[in-house]
Amino acid sequence: MAAKIDFSPLFQPLQIGAVTLRNRVLMSALTRNRALPTNVPNDLMVEYYRQRAESAGLIVSEGILICQQGTEWPHAPGIWNQDQIVGWKKINDAIHEAGSQSFAQIWHLGRVSHPEAPEQIASGQPVYGPSAIAARAPRIQLILVQPTEIDDPMKLIAIYKQAAMNAKEAGFDGVEVHGANGYLVHEFLDSGSNLRMDNWGGSIENRSRFGLEVLKAVSEVWGPDRVGIKLSPAGGYNDMGMPLEETLETYNYFIAQVDKLGLAYIVLQRYTQFLDPIIDGKRRAIDHDVIGAYGHLVKRSTLLSNGSFTPEEAARTVSEGKVVGVFWGQLWVSHPDLAKRIQNGKPTDTPIDLHTLYGNTAGTTLDDQRVGYTDYPFAEYPSL
């Protein structure tokens, strides 16, 4: 008989900055593309988040667009107007009523914004990036354009700060800056997408400046102990990644500087093949031990991780002190009661319907969008 797995390390309370979590089974940001019709959170999204808040220790919202300019998905939610703030307030009320906590992931896509996205068009502005360098697309159907180099990055930092203010009004418990997966903060940090010769590019210190200034700006709104950041040093997704030695030098510097800010948490995304596209016939990412390479740098913040952990591996990694909590993404999609399943030894093998992962293209109503969103089954538990 196989030995029973001890999942108890995942079910101890956890303090991240000013926020106390009931467990260490955390839900990472998941784009689901259900904010129909106008990028405003709706009642279907309230149901989706309420389901998962019944057991999650922390819920990080799907990526929230901080402005019209800098968007990709047609039905990703924003946080630049009052209707959106009100919609998020309803979601946060539901999350809190279910006993969980919520951080808003604030998101600008930078050079990989879609030129034909309705909100991008409505903004009347170009697709911005650190430099006029387009990302290479892993498939021909994906539209990526050469971006316009932003003249003054402080303009974008001010938009992050306003989004942080709006997130506070919307009732979140904190904010997570999306610094991963080839979006704007990541683009400034990577020498392949940032070829600037001013004080926002060139040296590691200059390439780190944008991300650090964003964190300082949102910390002015929330206090650093309610701010987190997500990083993906291995790169890959959206044509990101530097040679290994440069990657190590860049992230050793950047993470050490971020840690000095005393944030609520830093989440390091491990290498996963799911986020490693094949471009020009080969894998794009720089596969290396992310936790081993950078975890020791996190001293003042809380170190969290994500990236295809099994529940067993997560419990072991937490018990060994390598990280203190683990985020899951895909497992939360098809298991709305994921934390409760893990705690009770229930299976976590419900497959994801990939056809409805980013919206149900077979229908346009909210009822249509329930499919593959709020209709995944809960496990059965013995009644008390």
Position 384 scores a pLDDT of: 56
Q: What is the pLDDT of residues 286-337, one digit of tens each?
A: 999 999 999 999 999 999 999 999 999 999 999 999 999 999 999 999 999 9
> Is 183 annotated in the active site?
yes
User: Looking at per-residue confidence, does 190 or 141 come out higher?
Assistant: 190
Determine the Cα–Cα distance for residues 149 and 19; give it in Å rounded to an integer.
38
Q: Cβ(228)–Cβ(263) under 8 Å?
A: yes
Position 38 scores a pLDDT of: 87
- Helix, strand and coil content of the chain, in percent to the nearest 5, comes to 35, 15, 50
Residue 82, C-beta contacts closer than 8 angstroms, at least 6 positions apart: none
Position 381 scores a pLDDT of: 93
Position 1 scores a pLDDT of: 43
Helices 82-97, 154-169: crossing angle, 10 deg rounding: 50
For the domain spanning 8-344, the CATH number is 3.20.20.70
Residue 169: band (very low, low, confident or very high) from pLDDT cuts 50, 70, 90: very high
pLDDT of 71 > 70? The answer is yes
Which residue type sits at 70? G
Q: What is the pLDDT of residues 256-296, one digit of tens each?
A: 999 999 999 999 999 999 999 999 899 999 999 999 999 99
Position 96 scores a pLDDT of: 98
pLDDT of 382 > 90? The answer is no
Q: Is the pTM of this model over 0.85?
A: yes
Q: Which two tokens stand for residue 355?
A: 């056809």
pLDDT of 357 > 60? The answer is yes
Q: Cβ(175)–Cβ(218) under 8 Å?
A: yes
Q: What is the DSSP letter of 4?
A: P
Position 37 scores a pLDDT of: 87
Q: Where are the domains of the chain?
A: 8-344
Q: What is the pLDDT of residues 1-54, one digit of tens each?
A: 456 789 999 999 999 999 999 999 999 999 999 999 889 999 999 999 999 999
Determine the Cα–Cα distance for residues 89 and 98; give it in Å rounded to an integer.
14
Determine the Cα–Cα distance for residues 340 and 350; give it in Å rounded to an integer.
15
Determine the Cα–Cα distance for residues 57 and 7; give it in Å rounded to an integer.
14
Q: What percent of the chain has a predicted confidence (pLDDT) above 90?
A: 88
Q: Cβ(52)–Cβ(336) under 8 Å?
A: yes
Position 141 scores a pLDDT of: 47
Position 232 scores a pLDDT of: 98
Q: Cβ(241)–Cβ(192) under 8 Å?
A: yes
- Active-site residue, selected from the candidate residues 48, 183, 265, 271: 183
3-class secondary structure, 377: coil
Determine the Cα–Cα distance for residues 132 and 118; give it in Å rounded to an integer.
22
Helices 244-260, 204-222: crossing angle, 10 deg rounding: 30
Q: Which two tokens stand for residue 253?
A: 């510097």
pLDDT of 371 > 80? The answer is yes
Q: What is the mean pLDDT of residues 135-144?
A: 70
Position 139 scores a pLDDT of: 58
Position 73 scores a pLDDT of: 84
Q: What is the mean pLDDT of residues 191-196?
A: 98
Q: How far is CA 2 from CA 5, 8, 141, 307, 311, in A?
A: 9, 18, 47, 26, 16
- Mean pLDDT, the chain, as a whole number? 95
Position 362 scores a pLDDT of: 78
